[in-house]
Amino acid sequence: MLHAPPPPSLDLAELRALSVLGRGAKGVVFLVQPTAGGEPLALKAISRSSVEHAKSHGGGGGDGGGDAYRRIWFERDVLQALRHPLLPSLRGVVSTERIVGFAIDRCSGGDLNSLRRRQTEKMFSDDVIRFYAAELVLALEHLHGLGIVYRDLKPENVLIQDNGHLMLVDFDLSTKLPSPPPPPDRSKPPPPPPPLPSSASTEEKDKKNKKKKKRPLLSCFSCDAGVSPEDPSPSPSSSPSPAVAGEASGGGASPARSPGKSNSFVGTEDYVAPEIIRGKGHDFAVDWWGLGVVLYEMLYGRTPFRGQNRKETFYRILSKDPELVGEQTPLRHLIARLLDKDPRNRIAPHAIKQHEFFRGVDWESLLTVARPPFIPTVTVTVTERDGECDAALDVERVVDEVFQSREAAKGGKTDEDDNNGDGITLLTEPPPPPPPQIDDDFKVF
């Protein structure tokens, strides 16, 4: 588990909710202003009713509520442990009879997907992609160093901070695995090869191999599904929603859990890695697949495997190569390496940073770049002393209304049947005229 000091408690009565930034399956994100002063914050408020509803309507009568609460507390622990310029820090926890909430720094630039859509061609140049991709590499590298697999990388979860740098948010689908081994030290000579076996030992091994070959084929497989220690138990549903928190098995008999891997079925439909769909265990490599999908979307303005429905999308993820239209460039080569369907052959983190696409990137000074591609215009927060502030939102009432309206719209369907998923959908505010454009000649490296 992640170890961090207890997070500070915040009194909901001392937070003034100014607007709604996003809505999700079980919660709402608010822009809040502490009444005592200070910078505005983003408050992710989760409905306790939704958690209790999961407990009573969880598939198969499982401990859905316990799993949901475990996810909440795991996300809290992750936020409390993070100390990185591209990742959120937990500013406080709100807990009432009706909601539980996490307060983090507000990002005024919206999400990466909204920014891309506001560009003339609905896509970014290679230089802009290089900057944002490099920051995502640093953010994922830091998370993996803590043993955290993010598992839901998509542009909607990548926000633009006030200074123009990125922030990766929303950790409710993350999990904890043993930290990956450090990259090989190329400065040291390789270890000497093992001595050749004697003819006698070779004959003994041949006899043992013959015995192994006689073992029935089915004995090599196990029907016992397992999950990582931080994950909820798999749901019996085999049809997960696009942003799944139901932890369903990948379909069919699941193999035994591999050491250092999770068998949970989580993610967002267009971005989920093939090994998650197969249900044979996944690890940190799923985040590099997600990076490949995000880079593709930034380059082409669409995701690479989207089908007419979920079944077709999963089929394309498992069997189709991405269509990398255009001349062969370092960016297209990197995307192809990231979208290798075999996680064992997928490009490794240390090789990503050394790839031709990132030539010239100063990884040590990247976070101190003063002029990122886009720096948002930070609006001044209206406070009570201005004498013209609108009535504050009732956080608990809004969260309850969102949950109740979602349940009514579902018409009795379970979370696994609902295509809206459990992620937070940001509400994009109308951009001020003219819409923010990124300089096509942007260069930073």
Q: Has 152 been annotated as catalytic?
A: yes
Instruction: Convert the pLDDT of each residue in 406-433 to its tens digit.
Output: 777 766 554 444 433 445 555 544 444 4
Q: Mark whether 153 and 95 lie in a shared domain.
A: no
3-class secondary structure, 168: strand
CA count, 13 A, side-chain hemisphere, 326: 12
Query: For position 323, what pLDDT does the model report?
Result: 97
More confident residue, 385 or 22: 22
In a domain, 121, yes or no: yes
Burial label for 247, CB within 10 Å (0-12, 13-18, 19+), is buried
User: Which of 48-62, 194-208, 269-283, 407-421 tops mean pLDDT?
Assistant: 269-283
What's the rounded mean pLDDT across residues 328-353? 97
More confident residue, 201 or 235: 201
CATH number at residue 169: 1.10.510.10
Q: Mark whether 92 and 157 lie in a shared domain.
A: no
CATH number at residue 26: 3.30.200.20
Q: Mark whether 279 and 162 lie in a shared domain.
A: yes
Give the integer Cα–Cα distance in Å for 402 and 393. 13
Active-site hit among 67, 77, 105, 152: 152
More confident residue, 60 or 83: 83
In a domain, 18, yes or no: yes
Query: For position 241, what pLDDT does the model report?
Result: 40
Instruction: Convert the pLDDT of each residue in 68-107 to its tens digit.
Output: 788 888 999 999 999 999 999 999 999 999 999 999 999 9
Angle between helices 126-145 and 285-300 (to 10 degrees): 160
Q: Mark whether 160 and 39 lie in a shared domain.
A: no
Q: Mark whether 290 and 175 lie in a shared domain.
A: yes
Domain, as residue range, for 117: 110-180+259-369
Q: Mark whether 49 and 166 lie in a shared domain.
A: no
Give the integer Cα–Cα distance in Å for 235 and 265. 9
Is the pLDDT score of 330 beyond 90?
yes
Give the lowest-confidence range in 102-111, 251-260, 350-359, 364-373: 251-260
Letter string b/e over residues 198-222, b meaning 16 or more CB atoms within 10 A of that residue's CB: eeeeeeeeeeeeeeeeeeeeeeeee
Mean pLDDT of the chain: 78
Instruction: Convert the pLDDT of each residue in 43-52 to its tens digit.
Output: 999 999 888 8
* 421 Cβ contact partners less than 8 Å away, ≥ 6 residues apart: 25, 241, 242, 243, 244, 268
- Beta strands of 77-232 (E only): which ranges? 92-95, 99-105, 148-149, 158-160, 166-168, 175-176
Its pTM stands at 0.76
